[in-house]
Amino acid sequence: MMAMGACLSSFDGNRKEVYKDASAPVKDRVEDLLSRMTLEEKVGQMNQFVGIEHIKANSAVMTEADLKNNTANAFYPGFTYKNVEEWTKEGEIGSFLHVLTLKEANYLQSLAMKSRLQIPILFGIDAIHGNANAPDNTVYPTNINLACSFDTLMAYTIARQTAKEMRAMNMHWTFNPNVEVARDPRWGRVGETYGEDPYLVSLMGVQAVKGYQGKLDSDSDVLACIKHFVGGSEPINGTNGSPADLSERTLREVFFPPFEAGVKAGAMSLMTAHNELNGVPCHSNEWLMEDILRGEWKFPGFVVSDWMDIEHISDLHATAENIKEAFYQSIMAGMDMHMHGIHWNEMVAELVKEGRIPESRIDESVRRILDIKFRLGLFEHPYADEAKTMKVRLCPEHRQTALQAAREGIVLLKNDGVLPLDVAKYKKVLVTGINADDENILGDWSAPEKPENVTTILEGLKMIAPDTQFDFVDQGWDPRNMDPQKVADAASRAKEADLNIVVAGEYMMRFRWTDRTDGEDTDRSDIDLVGLQNELIEKVAASGKPTILVLVNGRPLGVQWAAKHLPAIVEAWAPGMSGGQAVAEILYGKVNPSAKLAVTIPRSVGQIQMIYNHKPSQYFHPYAAGKPSTPLYPFGYGLSYTTYKYDELKLSAQEIGKEGSLDVSVRVTNTGQREGTEIVQLYIRDKFSCVTRPVKELKDFARVPLKAGESKVVNFTITPDKLAFYDIKMKKIVEPGEFIVMVGSSSDDKDLLMKTFTLK
């Protein structure tokens, strides 16, 4: 093969190198470059490696046995980072992940520039809520926070700013948005998603794709990756990567829509899911990758595997006898890029030479990958400027967006009048709990930040109420190893305070991977507070002083005791680097909360599955022994410091045809004493249908700012696509009949006005 490469190189020197001509059409550049590549170079473009600093760090502390179940850290037994450097110089690595500094990215790119064809590296990173997995970047609130804001423009803005910060670090590809529909709170990745509703997830995902990618033609654009395709967010036992057993109806009506919307929005990469789907691993699922993705949706981009999941076709799912067979199955099912590892280049080249995989199939994948590299301008600009990087990253505009997003995404779950806090009344305030003064507010997929770049909740309280005496009782960061004496100390000192704030929840920081209770691969068998946190809350509340609970977490938590006994609960999720300020502003009334839940909060794990858009028979028989069938807090729910009245729900017609549309209007009035923003929600139910349909489905919403006493008429339009579903033969139809329109402040029936219309 080396001799052939030498001949190719000699031949190439006698014809124009079109691929180096920036003025040539991208398609021509791709075909010219492809024609010059050896098989080994092509296969290398389909392979991704972890960065050399990552290899150095983990080879020093991990064993080969550790690699089998670890999906965050890696090294390559038998090889060193020096081997990876050589492969890069030989042009046999197409992409890297887990490269976390501009210096390393530029260095690896310099090695690629020494290769025969000088094909640049595509750097991917898990920039889930900002490029937070790398230090010194703006850390925005997590995706679940963003979803609770129902602010699609904010989703676009955060993605656009993230793209700029990524490119300032020579990063080109974010493994986001996660458009899985989260339907099991035991699953640790709920906070990485946009919640449980397919419509809301679709709209947020679309705006994220558009924000990241722009037109994919400038140095401020990055490649978006819609993931994980598909079903991993409803695992059979709540754990990441466990089997998904889902009907085609559920797939097409619940799980597919956000992915299809992402494809239509222009997403040019997609990641398949860890799990098997109905007995077939997603990474070797031809129906998903070829029939649905490329066949039905005409997806033009490339498909990337998740962390070592092609290997898992053999060593976990056992549908391939060995790794080489797993590579074969995955490629022939539609896979384009492998994340990550050392055997791919050798074995895939062998499969081609053996005639099992046509080289033309390899060419298909390489075309898709090279297309992105050309469109992003990497051939002309393989490096980022170290002198300019911090002019973009953590800039004031981005920090302000992070703060505003946190303000919009924090949900007020309960308030019996204690909030907003009166600084004159509550002069001495006890603050305690694992998340009171910790960077854990950054959430999963975040690296530790410099202290000056993060405002913890305790710091935020001191900032917003500087004249208040805050008595802090540190409970440590680890909920599983809380000190009973510190709990007792907080209970004692609570008696001396005018008011108590307990900041509880989960622990999510990745640098303490095995100590986390929430996040990727951190799934739970219950949804209660871990450790002594409930005891802490109860003992502090026993002081007789008003006690407020603030939750910092990614999954819904069934805080039943607190919901019954405490006067106020705030769901902060993981509000990012400015989250402490935003929480304090809400507690003290500087900001009026407006967020609504993007997921249902069950009372306990025994209620799972607990979703708002369930089928009519789901609660036909209630739970025995007096246990309620209702959630602790429903989808779409969230309180404000003002009140809103809904009336005058009107439909433009009582009947419409299949090609017609219907206008819906409702008057919303701010009946309180202060300005606020109400999230008005429209739901639809098909009253009678040929197959069972959900009791309600979100079909539209609007963020409506209202001054005190102000009224606005909010208008929606119902079009036939909002009424469509799959019939008995799995054909998508719009069926004549009666439909119920519901408009209000949450998915709870008591919060909704209702009218009906007929589709002829």
pLDDT in tens, 699-711: 999 999 999 999 9
pLDDT at 251: 98
Place of tokens 């979703």: 611
Largest Cα span, the chain: 87
Within 10 angstroms of residue 564's Cβ, the number of other Cβ atoms is 9
Give the whole-number percent of the chain exceeding pLDDT 90: 94
Q: Provide the token pair at 689.
A: 């249908």
pLDDT in tens, 572-628: 999 999 999 999 999 999 999 999 999 999 999 999 999 999 999 999 998 988 789
- The answer on pLDDT for 7 being more than 60 is no
Are 519 and 554 in contact, with CB atoms under 8 Å apart? Answer: yes
pLDDT in tens, 404-443: 999 999 999 999 999 999 999 999 999 999 999 999 999 9
Q: Are strands 122-125 and 95-97 parallel, antiparallel or unpaired?
A: parallel
Q: How confident is the model at residue 69 (pLDDT cuts 50, 70, 90)?
A: confident
Give the whole-number percent of the chain exceeding pLDDT 70: 98
- The answer on pLDDT for 203 being more than 90 is yes
**Per DSSP, what are the bridge partners of residue 746?**
none
In terms of Cβ atoms closer than 10 Å to its own Cβ (0-12, 13-18, 19+), residue 383 is: middle
Q: How confident is the model at residue 13 (pLDDT cuts 50, 70, 90)?
A: low
- Spell out the domains of the chain, with CATH numbers in brackets: 37-391 (3.20.20.300), 410-607 (3.40.50.1700), 644-759 (2.60.40.10)
- Identify which has the larger pLDDT, 198 or 74: 198
Look up residue 630 and give its DSSP letter. Answer: S
- The answer on pLDDT for 12 being more than 70 is no
Region 305-326: mean pLDDT is 97
pLDDT in tens, 722-756: 999 999 999 999 999 999 999 999 999 999 999 99
Q: How confident is the model at residue 67 (pLDDT cuts 50, 70, 90)?
A: confident
State the pTM of this model: 0.96
What residues contact 289, with CB distance under 8 A and at least 6 apart? 229, 272, 303, 333, 334, 335
Give the residue among 449, 453, 383, 387 at the shortest CA–CA distance from 167.
Answer: 383
Q: How confident is the model at residue 14 (pLDDT cuts 50, 70, 90)?
A: low
Q: How far is CA 548 from CA 124, 410, 417, 431, in A?
A: 41, 15, 11, 10
DSSP per-residue string spanning 589-606: TSS------SS-B-SSGG
Report the C-alpha gap between 705 and 711 in whole angstroms: 10
Are 482 and 534 in contact, with CB atoms under 8 Å apart? Answer: no
pLDDT in tens, 680-696: 999 999 999 999 999 99
Query: Which H or E run contains 412?
Result: strand 411-415
Give the residue among 701, 677, 749 at the shortest CA–CA distance from 197.
Answer: 701
pLDDT at 3: 37
Report the C-alpha gap between 637 and 594 in whole angstroms: 10
Q: Provide the token pair at 603.
A: 């009372």
pLDDT at 5: 42
Are 388 and 174 in contact, with CB atoms under 8 Å apart? Answer: no
Are 443 and 406 in contact, with CB atoms under 8 Å apart? Answer: no
Give the residue among 380, 368, 409 at the shortest CA–CA distance from 571.
Answer: 409
pLDDT in tens, 347-362: 999 999 999 999 999 9
Report the C-alpha gap between 613 and 733 in whole angstroms: 20
Look up residue 223 and give its DSSP letter. Answer: B
pLDDT at 649: 98
Range in 172-186, 340-354, 624-638 the model is least confident about: 624-638
- The answer for 639, left when phi > 0, alpha when psi is -120 to 50, beta otherwise, is beta
